[in-house]
């Protein structure tokens, strides 16, 4: 079978274990401390641009600075508040007119992956368009 480039090498020897062990307990403690630094919430804000789709009303302000660590769910709630819509009113949101992110995706992750020209485009509509 031809080796497909990029597939893990099958050396078959345990000497080639990928993860070298640390020094036991000490390194585990160090690692746990490191995890705390990675858990720190990024306080920075990123620019989100809301764009109405179809019959959805256009807001006076469309550019907002949103805390990067927020989940997308918070952005939806924020938008709902800005539009003055109630919890039950239909509101569909999309990124770049392409897909609906999972509500627990963070703004930071979405921004890093999908921002254009320095902002993250969030489309909103009253009906499911690209669902």
Partner 1 sequence: MSTYGTTRHHAPSAFSTPASTTLFRRLTWEGTVPLEIRVDPKELPANSDRGLECYYIQAPRVSYLPLLMPEIRRFLMDVVFDEAANKILKEEDWWFESEEGTLLKWHWPIGLIYDNHTISSSIRPSSQASTSQYSVQVNPLKLILHLASPPTEKLLLSPTAEACKQAFMGQLKEADFIRWGSTKRMTGLRKAEQDGIWEGIKEHNFDDYWRVASKVVPTTAPARTNSPPPPPSSASMHSRPPSADPQGAPDRDGAYSVRSVPVRLYLPDGPVMQDLVPPTLDDGLPHTLAHYLSTHLPLLFPQPPSSDPNLAYALIQGVLAPPESEMAWLGACMAGADGWVNVCVGIAR
- In 4-78, DSSP assigns E strands to 45-52, 63-67
Phi, psi (rounded to 5 degrees) for 38: -75, -20
Q: Using N-to-C axis directions, what is the helix angle for 72-83 and 107-114, rounded to 10°?
A: 100
Q: Does 44 bind partner 1 (CB under 8 A)?
A: no
Please state, in angstroms and rounded to a whole number, the distance separating the CA atoms of residues 41 and 70.
9
Q: C-beta of 64: minimal distance to partner 1 in Å?
A: 20
Task: Provide the mask over 61-100, with x wherever binding to partner 1 is found by CB under 8 A and - wherever it is not.
Answer: ------------x---------------------xx-xxx
Q: Does 17 bind partner 1 (CB under 8 A)?
A: yes
Q: C-beta of 14: minimal distance to partner 1 in Å?
A: 8
**Closest CB to partner 1 among 38 and 43?**
38
| Residue 66 DSSP SS3 | strand
Candidates 111, 114, 121, 96; CA nearest to 45 is: 111
Q: Does 19 bind partner 1 (CB under 8 A)?
A: yes
Q: C-beta of 81: minimal distance to partner 1 in Å?
A: 15
Residues, the chain: 131
| Residues of the shown chain interacting with partner 1 in the complex, contacts defined by CB under 8 A | 1-9, 17-25, 27-28, 30-32, 34-35, 37-39, 73, 95-96, 98-106, 109-110, 112-116, 130-131
């Amino acid at each position: 079978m031809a080796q497909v480039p990029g597939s893990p090498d099958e050396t078959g020897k345990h000497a080639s274990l990928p993860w070298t062990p640390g020094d036991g307990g000490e390194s585990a403690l160090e690692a746990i401390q490191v995890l705390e630094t990675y858990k720190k919430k990024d306080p920075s804000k990123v620019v989100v641009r809301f764009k109405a789709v179809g019959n959805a009303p256009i807001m006076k302000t469309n550019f907002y600075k949103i805390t990067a660590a927020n989940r997308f769910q918070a952005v939806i709630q924020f938008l709902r508040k800005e539009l003055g819509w109630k919890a039950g009113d239909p509101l569909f949101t999309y990124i770049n007119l392409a897909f609906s992110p999972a509500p627990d995706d963070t703004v930071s992750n979405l921004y890093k992956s999908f921002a254009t020209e320095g902002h993250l485009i969030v489309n909103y509509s009253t009906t499911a368009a690209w669902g």
